[in-house]
Amino acid sequence: MFPVRFFRLRVRAWGPMFCLVLYLSLLLGSFAASAQITVRGQLAHDLETVPGATLTGSVTIANDTNELQQARIYQRDYLFFADGTNAYDDPGTTARSNAPWISFSPEQATVPPGGSMTVSYQINVPDTAGAGSWWSMLMVEAIDRESAESTLGEDAPGDREVGFRQVTRYGVQLATHVSSASAEPGVELENVRLQALEDGRTVFQIDVLNVGQVMMRPDVYMRLFDAEGQEYGPFPGVQYRLYPNTSTRQRIELDGVPAGTYQAVFVVDAGSDAVFGGQFELTL
């Protein structure tokens, strides 16, 4: 482990919002069938708004099979962390959940063969909503015709399948960014370490935590400087989406750097002058 000295370069307003497609597939066994439903179009909705506003949108569910399919629609909160864990909590239970602001219809859909249908949603932003990013997920999950939830029953077209089936589930992120220009971004860095791999490569690992009020999707990279001022890099990381109170782990391969002691600068650049960093001393 290495001591970390944090510095903040410049912070003003945060820049444009980005979209993320989140797709979840739950495989229940080895006797898998083809996907029952799909969600078409944009799978993450980022909406700039102000307190008191009313927003509307829709999600399209498609059936590309030759038989009737059903899906249920429900809400979940969503958090993710640098250790790889994810939390799909009950709606409205996390600190910046907008699930209580959202109404949608229908809660269960029957989609004809080769057809589609629309789930409409409305977001009523409270007058008291604080600045920053608020989000939750609208889940669209196929209903297995063999389950108790299915209303297709014996009269549904197609043969009844014996064994396990694949159940597809989509998570559509509904993110409302309330007066985001006035919200404060913030980053913390943790869990800094070097890892020597068996093939001789060296990997720099660091966890990036969003401790601010707004979602960001920052560029991350690091540069190394030896005692003579020779620079190595930049070594890019992965551009992940980061909501407030979530974190991701960056693993950056230090390719082509000779053994020695270096001053390392790790930068998190969220744009619009929201730039954060950490400085470390590394010995390779």
What's the pLDDT band for 11 if we cut at 50, 70, 90?
very low
> What is the token pair recorded at 196?
């020597």
pLDDT tens per residue, range 60-74: 999 999 999 999 999
Q: What is the pTM of this model?
A: 0.79
- Tens of pLDDT, residue by residue over 80-134, are 999 999 999 999 999 999 999 999 999 999 999 999 999 999 999 999 999 999 9
Say what the pLDDT of residue 126 is: 97
Predicted local distance difference test score (pLDDT) of residue 10: 30
- Rounded distance between C-alpha atoms, residue 133 and residue 15, angstroms: 13
Q: Which domains does the chain have, with CATH numbers?
A: 5-12+184-283 (2.60.40.10), 23-182 (2.60.40.10)
Asked if the model's pLDDT at residue 244 lies above 90, the reply is yes
Alpha carbon 184 to its chain's center: 20
pLDDT digits (tens, 9 = 90+) for 28-55: 332 234 568 899 988 889 999 999 999 9
Q: What does the alpha-carbon distance between residue 215 and residue 173 come to, in Å, rounded to a whole number?
A: 12
Whether the predicted pLDDT of 182 surpasses 80: yes
Dihedral sign for Cα atoms in the order 46, 49, 51, 54: negative
Q: Which residue would you say has higher pLDDT here, 264 or 18? A: 264
CA end-to-end span of the chain = 13
